[in-house]
A and B are shown apart, each in its own frame.
Chain A
Amino acid sequence: MKYYVIRNYTVENMFDESCSFSLYNALNIKEINKWDGDAVVCFLMYPLTGNYKDKISALEANIETLKLLINSCTKRLILLTMHPISKSYHPAYDFELLRLVNNYNEICWKAGSTNGNVICFDYSSFLKQYPDSLLIDWKHFYLSQLGLNPKLVRDFQDWFSAQYNSFLSIRKKCLVLDLDNTLWGGVIGEDGMEGIKLGGSYPGNAYEDMQRRIYAAYENGVILSLCSKNNETDALQVIENHPNMILKNEHFAITRINWNNKAENIQDIANTLNIGLDCIVYIDDNPSEREIVKSLLPDVVVPDFPDKPYLLPSFIEDILCKYFSIYSVTKEDINKTLQYRQNAERNEFKNRFRDYNQYLKELNMFLEISLAKLVDIPRIAQLTQKTNQFNLTTRRYSEDDIKNMVNNKDIVLCARVKDKFGDYGLTGVCILKHNGVDSVDIDTLLMSCRVIGREVENEFIRQIIQYLSKLGYKHITSSYIKTNKNSLVESFYENNGFNIKEQNANCKNYELYIDNYNTESKNIVEVIWDDEKKNN
């Protein structure tokens, strides 16, 4: 299966290679809706770093991400519930954290049960099988942000594919119902309209209650059919005229009330509706009828019938849960839902776009830019060594290289990023080299993949250009050097107002006359400058 996984920690080792992964805590709706695969998985894990305040703000942001995703994703969406892991020393904090986790999970379940495109998998119930102490391997968490103990990864994969397979295989469309002693108590042919038990006191109330639940399933798109050995006129008279009969003739797509073999009738129902026998669940109180259907039509699901009427409502509820959960709508229904949505989306594109920017604003992102200080040099060298994706030129430098640049009057800028999810520290670098009197070349521009995808990178380049303008520069050159890993940024400079000067398969060179630059800030990221002279 090919999934696109939205995540806040490292989960690449939990899915197979064909999957794609979002940037950390980033939600790119356009990219998701364009992406071609089986399903989008929203896998935000309980925040593992910081104190309770940090966790509360991360959880609040997770909830916003989830809501935005549910409202704007047009793909099949799998939501994983969240499982609270650590405990704080203060019960009131725990309570607040738990409240937010419950809120998150409630949104998952609600979307899963009301939206045909959304499925909810209870990741929390998977983790509950293990003691808390086994869930996270803190070494691998702090080394690589692994969100699950690698020892549990194989179990996770089995669990996940079992969830998905059961969702795919248990998709039934049609509920075929018997009448006597199934939808009402007694036998119409013997007891007559007045004698059958339906409504009123026990056991009639249990039959009526069961009918109410079946009616709700009908309203949610389950196809109902009748298959009963009876005189059709007797049966139809009850259906149309009994005051407590909830299910009426119009609710049944097909009725086969006759004395034919039930297996034949069910085959006929399947043919007429043009659905497979494996899409049918057959409910009948009579064990021998059930046996016949089971042996002649092995694809039809034939559940055992409870022997007491008071068990009927919960019996039918279980059947509906198991075989007709709301996400089990037919493909046509999904397409219809999709069409409706896509239209709505086109109409409201502007609104949604504003919402997305609003959403980003609410992440409270801070970008702090400063000239490199001595203490920053090891981290800067490390970033040039390790950063692959958001790295325009992928030039690798040692600490000495960086030190020489700083002493050489090259401009080395560092970016520190902070948001609701946490403080990422020094995660961006820009190295500017003099090109002439009023011209510089962007030798290196990189950012850690933990912070990009949320406008920070665009604000960073905008700030760099403004800064150079303030220093009196007129002209900037830059380049994109292609590697196996950095296709993410192949159009970064074009998108930020630079012009392509020359280009070949592996490299693009750009220039920008600062006077012509007029890209406005989206004012999403708050910027703090610390450009005091270096040398400290």
Chain B
Amino acid sequence: MEEKYFGHSVLRKEGRSKVTGRAKYVDDIAFPDMIYGATVRSSVARGRIKAIRYGDGIPWKEFTIVTAADIPGKNEIALMLHDQPCLASEVINHPEEPIVLLAHPDKYLLEEARRAVQIEVEPLPAIFTIEDSLAKRVIISGEDNVFKSFLVDKGDVDAAWASADVIVEGEYRTGAQEQLYIENQGMVAIANPTDGVMVCGSLQCPYYVQKALMLVFDLPANKIRVVQAETGGGFGGKEEYPSMIAAHASLLAWKSGKRVKIIYDRAEDMVATTKRHPSRTRHRTGVTRDGKLVAMDIDLVIDGGAYATLSSVVLSRATIHAAGPYACPNVRIRSQAVATNAPPHGAFRGFGAPQSIFAIERHMDQIARAVNLTPEELRRRNFLHKDQTTATGQIIHEAVNYEGLLDRAFRESDYHAKRERFARENPGATVKRGIGFASFMHGAGFTGSGEVYLASVVEAEATSEGVVRILAASTEIGQGTNTVFSQIAADALGISFDRIEIAQPDTGAVPNSGPTVASRTSMVVGKLVEEAALGIKHTLVESGLLCDACTEDEFVRACGRYIETRGPLRSRSQYEPPPGLLWDDSTYSGDAYGTYAWAVYVAEVAVDTTTFEALVTDFVAVQEVGKVIHPVLAAGQIEGGVAQAIGMSLYENVVWCEGRMANGQMTNYIMPTAADIPPIRVFFEEHPYPFGPGGAKGIGELPMDGPAPAIVNAIENATGLSLHEIPVTPEVLMEAMTEKVVAND
């Protein structure tokens, strides 16, 4: 296969429409008879609904009003367990839980009406912390507040303590984080019992939405059509939540007989939709005097919010990544996802891994100090190599070279020289500087047998003009799906990039290639795109209309002739797992992922002791990714992920008040601006992964994992302060510095 496009930075497929403002996002779509929808939500965290009152002064007869009683099918949002209602009917389990839906043509009057609906609630006791949930202060879910638990048990941890010279303990916490895509959630729907339901909106997974609507409306798949509009960022925040807003818009459309548009404003989007799961990880680690890990006992808890939603899967990924890229013969990981009365937490880039990787990479720096080794020397003595096993017992078959990644990262960041220089210059300096790193990995694709379960399908279809259309449910959300798929298909067929068309993800027109999540789109679905494209050529060659080695013109002519004489020219490709992958769900052991991307990130920080502000001043990201399909897009993924993780580490603090986000505005939830982000210098290594297209591994989430521990390690280097919780805000740094000064006096 000639690589004319693969490995090159072709112009983004839909780039022109984006830079000219012509790209149509859901709020840009309007219909003449369209009405607007709004959601009335709970103001209490937990309680029993006693009554719904519709206040005076509003012409209620003009409104479409929907409550749980209007749901034709099941009042459930389909995910893992079906514990989340589409609309609360008897009980409320979190603030901002949706209860009543309203629609009206006048969106200003609609707002007045929303304010005029009073929900009378008898409050019930609620819990808001992991501790209270574990202590079962109140049981709010199931019998014990636990949505899911896992046990990973490698070797014999209990026996291994005896061979440890030093035991190091630590507890690490991460807070909630808002995805903060710049385009708020939105959906347009039209629905009636005869034609079924059609929705179009901002989403990552059209088939997830279809499945949810089938349950809510009790309709078969061929009566539910879901179309993705141009989507302004997702980051996981539009993985599962769109099912909820789609159900709401559809219910209003169903009852009103009109097209309904629901667009959240920023405040509603921030307080009511999903966030990253807060976490608490406890490490107890046995290590020999010369720094060899012999026993790792890890206790990991994530806060799932009020309903299970995707917590079990987030927990799974957090668990599998909790022990880091290290060879340790004895590892036990006990993990739980627990319920609290907050809006359910959900998918956000990294999906559990950033939380557990923060813990292990902070902990490794503590272990290093305990055995009097540098952080890098401790890593070097424990890095995973080929033929060694991970915590789940997966044998690493590739020649992973962490030493090489570390060397390169240190070279590019001038790590040793800076470390030495900062140590010299910091005493007496107002601004203290530090440098720190994290070594980590990220498994691409669905865990274990997940990809087999998804059984993804991609189709390709050629037109008589020789345009090849790729039909997949994978969505473009900024990461470059359209472009990467076009590169792969164009190279597979040996034709121009411009001859490839990516069909709009529409459940009425494309097969289910699985959700656009888990860093799987290029690696897993991209491979299917390649096969589907090759399938078109194969069909033409088999039919005698084309030689294997052909020109583009010959290809075009063959398409025309085939369609003229034989009919549609289509090809289909379905996922086949790489051979030899074995995963055991009951023991949570085996080959968790087909492959991992491996990385070492270095962060340089400046801590101003006058204002206690920490600023990231330089960032180096080195990763081995199989093959770089598109250098600009790949670097863009790393840069964007690092910036988001810098936000997670230092700026993005969700202020909670009785389960509700109190700082739900961009003024008070702080995301980094262009003035806050340092140069981010990205370097790729390539050891092709045989089962990815051209050897590519998935990379979308990798960059979210490493920055937080690297930054907090750097802050420790700069100030001597050992911080175990993110975000590290200036207020937190101030208290820690004051404590330290007092302790030293």
Check if A and B associate. Answer: no
